[in-house]
Amino acid sequence: MKKDLLTLFDLTRKDLDLLFEETDRLRHDRSVAPLRGQTVAMIFQKPSLRTRVSFEVGVSQLGGHTTFLSQESIGIGTRESVHDVALLLSRYCGALVARLFDHRVLVDLARFATIPVINALTDLSHPCQVLADLYTVRQYGKLKPGVTVAFIGDGNNVANSWLEISGLYPIRFILAAPKGYQADPGIVQRARAAGVSSIEIVADPQEAVRNADVVYTDVWTSMGQEAEAERRRKAFTGYQVSEALMRAAPADCLVMHCLPAHRGEEITDAVIDGPRSVVFDQAENRLHVQKAVLTALCSQNHGDQAQGAER
């Protein structure tokens, strides 16, 4: 049975521990090539720097190849149905990495594909990012039960994936977001129902960062929301991760951002370039963690690909 990574709710705590162990191993061992002879399809409806490059480099380091498919070139859902794209790519490829607007399209892709499907970001969720983020927290020796993560700003796809991972590892997750920009209610409910972590929704960023081990932020205007940028800038006034806000946080906390940053909006230069910032470690860890994800999903599926002519 093939496995997908659509959200972090797809993983168990054991999967998470194994992924981090495999990540440790792959960071130092370049001799393994579990993807030899396989091609990974990369469907991207939105721009990307980190995700695209880290997957392309990661697949290549694991001995495989990628084929990049922009929305313009394949027209998923317009030129051809999601169903047909999924079945077709399953005949050629070993896995499918997809960055899409609508999470439901990703769910459909996974439903119809006979190969593993990995979420490279949707409007709802960004699981690969938050896996790399938690791995970075661990790398800094701060991953302990109850580690406090204060997410300041938009309750968006990245915040949602922090909520997803709170169902796997016991954290104290505090979201400080303005009214109307909260995380997805279904995900909040599911994360709370998992009963693993403490989840707090507050309005005041100062209160949120007071005991934080990690202060996290992301852009106020995500990809696809550009028309709302002005309205959002107003709504998020007071939610900037600035030197003033960081004075309310513990001196040894980490500052995290998934990037790209809109410097001067959700975070200031002084903070993102400051001594507490680990943003480039997070970005590097995308490569290592995704190699572990690919290894786990593709090795498991090897040999399961549909071979129509033989049926």
Active site residue 258: yes
**Binding string to ligand NVA for residues 153 to 192, with x set by CB under 6 A, is what?**
---xxx----------------------------------
Among 76, 98, 174, 258, which residue interacts with ligand NVA (rule: CB under 6 A)?
258
Backbone angles phi, psi at 99, to 5 degrees: -110, 110
Active site residue 99: yes
The site partner of 49 among ligand CP, ligand NVA, none (C-beta below 5 to 8 Å per kind) is ligand CP
| Contacting ligand CP within 208-247 (CB under 6 A) | none
> Is residue 182 involved in binding ligand CP (CB under 6 A)?
no
Closest CA to 121 of 16, 285, 259: 259
Active site residue 129: yes
Residue closer to ligand NVA, measured from CB, 112 or 239: 239
Do you know the residue count of the chain? 311
Structure tokens given for 152: 């300041």
Among 57, 223, 235, 248, which residue interacts with ligand NVA (rule: CB under 6 A)?
223
Looking up tokens 């701060």, which residue turns up? 142
Structure tokens given for 265: 């909006």
Backbone angles phi, psi at 153, to 5 degrees: 125, -130
| Contacting ligand CP within 13-72 (CB under 6 A) | 48-51
Q: Kindly compute the dihedral angle of the four CA atoms of residues 34, 40, 46, 51, in this order, to the nearest 10 degrees.
A: 10
Burial of 252 (0-12, 13-18, 19+ CB in 10 A): exposed
Q: Which residues bind ligand CP (CB under 6 A)?
A: 48-51, 121, 129, 258-260
> Where on the chain is the footprint of ligand NVA (CB under 6 A)?
121, 156-158, 218-219, 222-223, 258
